Amino acid sequence: MASGKGGVGKSTVSANLALALAAEGHTVGLLDADVYGPSQGLMMGVSEETQPEVADDLLQPISVHGIQVMSMSFVTSDRTPAIWRGPMASSALQQLLTQTNWQNVDYLIVDMPPGTGDIQLTMAQNVPLSGAIIVTTPQDIARLDACKGIEMFRKVEVPLLGIIENMSLHTCSVCGHQEAIFGTGGGEQIAQDYSTYLLAQLPLSMAVREQSDGGVPPVLSDPDGEVAPLFKQIAVAVHRQIEEVEKTTPTIRIVDD
Ligand SMILES: Nc1ncnc2c1ncn2[C@@H]1O[C@H](COP(=O)(O)OP(=O)(O)O)[C@@H](O)[C@H]1O
Ligand SMILES: [Mg+2]
């Protein structure tokens, strides 16, 4: 889950998509790769004191809402994040990914930090990603950043699964009037430009923010509400595409014999 820009909703989408895939019966891991501003602890309702257990030199993911979660915030203290810079952050992240004892996950959702710098590139290059989803908001300025993200994954040949436009229409909770606060058409345009899918347009909604930042994202707390069905739709579309990708890409298996 990536985007060139911060604050567009990557973490919100990652958390909700992870939950939607789990609700479809898949085993799901969620890696918070945003070393500078980890937010999955908050979004998945993991208390700040929680520390992963270590067994056989592997970190045990935190199990919450049926998802296996691992975040830099679980293994660093308040004072350490400032030292994570460039190569150090990249290697710390890779270590976090490979030394976590993920239990038979069908899907590992990686919530990326904003930007297309070293960490993102290292991650995209060194981790065998099945696909990338770009999250953007409808306005022009976000579009430019989203395109940078797409180009980055293209460079390292990670298939683009589609675009999610977040913070699209806002429906007034009092009068029902709909307004495009951040403009319209951004996601659609990117999808067209890059011949990919617009997986969903998610509304700008106070409930989404309250439920996500409150530790029980809308897919769980309001399964029949406005946004949960959209995440279900994204989960189904992503599953279908990943199946295609796996069919067409040869699996490379390194056997030690
Ligand atoms: N569709 C939405 N409607 C309202 N608030 C949202 C929506 N998507 C995300 N937010 C809120 O915006 C803030 C930034 O979202 P976040 O997912 O942390 O962005 P990012 O990971 O891209 O930096 C959070 O407080 C989140 O709850
Ligand atoms: Mg984030």
- How does residue 245 score in pLDDT terms, banded at 50, 70 and 90? confident
Ligand 1 atom at minimal distance to the Cα of residue 166: 1
With the most atoms of ligand 1 within 8 angstroms of its CB, the residue from 16, 212, 226 to mutate is 212
Give the Cα separation of 97 and 120 in Å (integer): 14
213 CA to middle of ligand 1, Å? Answer: 8
- Which class is domain 10-248? alpha beta
Mean pLDDT of 134-152: 88
Q: How far apart are the first and last CA of the chain?
A: 36
Name the percent of the chain lying above pLDDT 90: 55
pTM of model > 0.85: yes
**φ and ψ of 211, to 5 deg:** -70, -40
Span 202-214, pLDDT tens digits: 999 999 999 999 9
Mean pLDDT of 80-94: 67
Residue 79: per-residue pLDDT: 58
Write the residue with the smallest CA distance to atom 8 of ligand 1.
Answer: 9
Span 8-28, pLDDT tens digits: 999 999 999 999 999 999 999
Q: Report which of residues 114 and 251 the model is more confident about.
A: 114
Q: Residues 6 or more apart from 80 whose CB is under 8 A from it?
A: none
